[in-house]
Amino acid sequence: MTLFEPLGKAPDPSTLAGFVPCELEDDFARLLFRPLFDDEREILLLAAFDAFERLVGLERVEGDISGRCIIPAHRWRALLHCNITMVLMAHNHPSDTPWPSDADIGATHDAALFLRTAGIDLIDHLIFVAGGHFSFRTAEML
């Protein structure tokens, strides 16, 4: 068996698909979402927009003891009563790892399917860390 040494060093996360460094974040991500996250626990935000792309609802779900965020049905109902056409999901990873877990990927696809049946688009799911955020849309995972 031949062992091969890796060539070079691991790539900088900012060069990988889907990662947006802090300095390149748009105002919406930097000014609305980022201040709402906690460094110690996972928090999920659901932002709802109407047909004119106006923010009409914002729901915040805090993680449980295990650190997982489960979206209660009453949070979805609160958004669906706002006559929305688009939803943006965002949550943070206190571990500072921007890449989505299998649970993140599954939850994103489940939310997209649920919203699609109601005629609503899931426009993106962002995962925030100290150095920036990961975008499912930019990584072409949505």
Instruction: Average pLDDT across each block of 10 residues of the chain; the chain has 142 residues. List them in order.
Output: 52 67 92 89 92 93 71 84 90 91 91 93 96 93 88
Which pair of structure tokens corresponds to residue 73? 């049905």
pLDDT at 23: 93
> If we measure between CA atoms, which residue out of 72, 116, 39 comes closest to residue 60?
72
pLDDT for residue 64: 66
**Would you say 45 and 36 are in contact if contact means Cβ atoms under 8 Å apart?**
yes
pLDDT at 77: 85
Per-residue pLDDT at 14: 45
- C-alpha to C-alpha distance for 64 and 14, rounded to whole angstroms: 30
The sheet that has 19-21: what strands, in order across it? 19-21, 132-135, 121-129, 86-92, 43-49, 55-62
Domains located in the chain, CATH noted: 18-135 (3.40.140.10)
pLDDT at 41: 86
User: What is the per-residue pLDDT for 67?
Assistant: 57
pTM (whole model) above 0.75: yes
